[in-house]
Amino acid sequence: MTTMIHVENVAKTFTLHNQGGVRLPVFDAVNFSVAAGEALVLAGASGAGKSSLLRILYGNYRPTSGHIHITHAGRAIDIVAAVPRTVLDIRRRTLGFVSQFLRVIPRVSALDIVRDPVLARGMSPEQATARAQAMLARLNLPERLWNLAPATFSGGEQQRVNIARSFVDPSPIMLIDEPTASLDATNRDVVVELIAEARQNGAAIVGIFHDEAVRSQVATRYLDITDFRKAA
Amino acid sequence: MTVHVSPPDAALDPAPLLSIARVSRFYGERIGCADVSFELWPGEVLGIVGESGSGKSTLLRCLAGIDRPDAGEVLFRGSGQPLDIYSVAEQERRRLMRTAWGIVHQNPRDGLRMDVSAGGNVGERLMDRGDRHYGQIRERALDWLARVEIAGERMDDRPRQFSGGMQQRLQIARVLVSEPKLVFMDEPTGGLDVSVQARLLDLLRVLVRDLGLAAIIVTHDLAVARLLTDRLMVMKDGHVVEQGLTDQVLDDPHHAYTQLLTSAVLSV
Ligand SMILES: Nc1ncnc2c1ncn2[C@@H]1O[C@H](COP(=O)(O)OP(=O)(O)OP(=O)(O)O)[C@@H](O)[C@H]1O
Ligand SMILES: Nc1ncnc2c1ncn2[C@@H]1O[C@H](COP(=O)(O)OP(=O)(O)OP(=O)(O)O)[C@@H](O)[C@H]1O
Ligand SMILES: [Mg+2]
Ligand SMILES: [Mg+2]
């Protein structure tokens, strides 16, 4: 199996300069790999650093030390050391991040939000539209909302747009942070299916799920972040 | 997994559009900006943030060919060899400023000809570029007015008959009609109402994306930076204190000043 993520000696400490320079050690010496077709679920108590680790994998937080090799277009690239345009290229083609909330862009319709990533990857507008519509339908978003901007949608509706955007064309690596928190049981099951399908099609998944049932349906492996807690 | 056919992408560009090395500008004893270096690649959008007086406009003016820096160099690579924009003749620099890049001023009055019609403001840029066919110039001007959401029937009105938001959109049309590769903007949504700002921002976001423009945008608004930029540079007292991907700098700021800046706003 192809290794998609290789984490080497990653540590993270936050330094809060405006609060007396207090240092918040989160984890240290994190080492693991994730292969294509695997779903690694991050476990650990609230505040253990699960989201921080996921954000570091995405190149959003910067680790205090260590390397993260992402397999991008057949090559392993250290996202920690990569220049911004390389990170953006990795995100466009290889790394997807599914957050807990949709970041609403003023005046952009739900359909356009979902179509956008596939258009950016070069799919024809007709094909992209058809895909986006199918995904919104699958997540039970009422058709009357498709052409509206999600600013006025409910939390669950916004989150389904967010998930549709992420899964309309799953990336080779999917990083997922609590995607089902604001969803009802029916839609939660759709999300579990979408994750399973992406994985079966070869995606490498790293996810955080509070819901025990969802967690056990998704996981092929667990990693407890608490094991890397820095000896303070 | 589907096979992704990637569009021509920035990572494959062979060279930066702009290379800035150790640029400094002083006003007597006072530092305007000091020792700024970075590269900008085709299609990248860079934001410059920082408190009032930190040197953002000073730096932008040095980069855009308006003010000569006291030290350092600004290399622009259009097609062919990189060019030090301050070593070429004044006339050549002026030509570049009109054709190779564009400048959107905070105050539309600084970027528009207030005594020339809206259509004339846009068409003039095409003539600067060498277009001579009147019908085509008019058609393109109309097309651009439509793209910035100004009705064609306002084409013969003067900018002073427009609202602030319309003037700003007209300025943007005037800058973009000549298809520059690079655009400089100093607080493009500065003096506008929040609702007008949102519309303008959306317009800028779509234009920048569809035209594959590289841009440098000065703003004090972190939400604007989040929406429009790929990279961010944080300035304080004339110096760049932190730079990186926009979401990195905003979500995991390392420098004390950036932490102060991001904690001062509710949510960006
Ligand atoms: N940007 C940040 N700046 C400073 N401290 C941060 C930042 N992000 C996270 N932290 C701190 O890092 C620690 C780990 O937080 P993180 O969000 O990663 O935990 P988590 O395991 O995802 O928790 P939860 O299950 O509650 O979501 C916490 O103490 C948190 O306050
Ligand atoms: N023409 C000038 N003559 C003298 N000092 C100047 C001049 N222009 C700017 N300065 C000074 O240089 C410093 C940087 O000014 P600049 O206009 O670049 O700041 P800025 O970051 O754009 O601020 P703002 O957000 O308020 O527009 C300030 O201390 C300013 O007073
Ligand atoms: Mg979390
Ligand atoms: Mg200024």
Per-residue pLDDT tens for A48-74? 999 999 999 999 999 999 999 999 999
Average pLDDT over residues B49-75: 95
Average pLDDT over residues A3-28: 96
Mean pLDDT score of chain A, rounded to an integer? 94
Q: Which of A131-145, A189-203, B19-33, B221-235 has the lowest mean pLDDT?
A: B221-235
Alpha helices in A121-184 (DSSP H): 125-138, 155-167
Residues 6+ apart with CB under 8 A from B2: A169
What is the predicted pLDDT for the residue at B1?
A: 36
Cβ of A113: how many Cβ atoms within 10 Å? Answer: 23
What is the predicted pLDDT for the residue at B9?
A: 42
Greater model confidence, A229 or B218: B218
Sign of the dihedral defined by the CA atoms of residues B147, B150, B153, B158, in that order: negative
What is the predicted pLDDT for the residue at A230?
A: 66
Question: Roughly how many angstroms between the first and final C-alpha of chain B, as a whole number?
Answer: 34
ipTM score here?
A: 0.92
Nearest-CA residue for atom 26 of ligand 1? A46
Give the C-alpha separation, B35 to B248, whole Å: 23
Residue A220 distance to chain B (closest CA, Å) = 19
Q: Which of residues 146-205 of A touch B (CB under 8 A)?
A: 169-170, 172, 201-203
Largest CA distance in chain B: 61
What is the predicted pLDDT for the residue at A67?
A: 98
Spacing, Cα A48 to ligand 1 middle (Å): 7
Burial class (CB in 10 A: 0-12, 13-18, 19+), B48: buried
Checking if the pLDDT of B131 tops 60, the result is yes
What is the predicted pLDDT for the residue at B6?
A: 39
What is the predicted pLDDT for the residue at A232?
A: 44
Burial class (CB in 10 A: 0-12, 13-18, 19+), A144: exposed
Q: pTM of the entire structure?
A: 0.91
Residues 6+ apart with CB under 8 A from A149: A104, A105, A106, A107, A108, A109, A110
Checking if the pLDDT of B103 tops 90, the result is yes
Residues of A with CB below 8 A from B244's CB? Answer: 62, 84
Checking if the pLDDT of A228 tops 60, the result is yes
* Least CB–CB distance from A172: residue in B1, B9, B44: B1
User: Is residue B80 very low, low, confident or very high in pLDDT (cuts 50, 70, 90)?
Assistant: confident
Give the C-alpha separation, B153 to B235, whole Å: 43
Greater model confidence, A102 or B53: B53
Mean pLDDT score of chain B, rounded to an integer? 88
CA-closest candidate to residue B103, choices B164, B186, B205: B186
As for ligand 1, residues whose beta carbon falls within 6 Å of it are A 14, 24, 26, 44, 46-52; B 251-252
How confident is the model over B19-48, as pLDDT tens digits?
999 999 999 999 999 999 999 999 899 999
Sign of the dihedral defined by the CA atoms of residues A139, A144, A148, A153, in that order: negative
Find the angle CA(B36)-CA(B40)-CA(B44) to the nearest 5 degrees: 135
Checking if the pLDDT of B202 tops 90, the result is no
Containing H/E element for B59? helix B56-63
Cβ of A48: how many Cβ atoms within 10 Å? Answer: 19
Residue A85 distance to chain B (closest CA, Å) = 6
CA A178 to chain centroid, in Å, comes to 9
Q: Which of A99-113, A209-223, B52-66, B164-178 has the lowest mean pLDDT?
A: A99-113
Checking if the pLDDT of B58 tops 60, the result is yes
How confident is the model over B141-194, as pLDDT tens digits?
999 999 888 999 999 999 999 998 899 999 999 998 988 889 999 998 877 777
Helix, strand or coil, per DSSP, at residue B267: coil
User: Is residue B75 very low, low, confident or very high in pLDDT (cuts 50, 70, 90)?
Assistant: very high
CA-closest candidate to residue B200, choices B151, B153, B237, B150: B150
CA-closest candidate to residue B196, choices B221, B232, B224, B166: B166
Checking if the pLDDT of B130 tops 90, the result is no
Provide, rounded to the nearest whole percent, the portion of chain B with pLDDT above 70. 94
Checking if the pLDDT of A136 tops 90, the result is yes
HEC sequence for B165-230: HHHHHHHHHHHHCCCCCEEEEECCCCCCCHHHHHHHHHHHHHHHHHHCCEEEEECCCHHHHHHHCC
Checking if the pLDDT of B77 tops 60, the result is yes
Give the CA distances from residue A106 to residues A99, B207, B223, in Å, rounded to whole numbers and listed in that order: 18, 15, 12
* Least CB–CB distance from B248: residue in A60, A93, A120: A60
Checking if the pLDDT of B18 tops 50, the result is yes
**Cβ atoms of B231 and B44 closer than 8 Å:** yes
CA-closest candidate to residue A165, choices A201, A120, A196, A205: A120
Whether B6 and A93 lie within 8 Å, measured CB to CB: yes
Give the C-alpha separation, B42 to B17, whole Å: 6
Give the C-alpha separation, B186 to B190, whole Å: 8
The tokens describing A45, both together, are 């108590």
What is the predicted pLDDT for the residue at A200?
A: 96
CA atoms within 13 A on the CB side of B13: 20
Average pLDDT over residues B237-264: 95
Give the C-alpha separation, A35 to A223, whole Å: 14
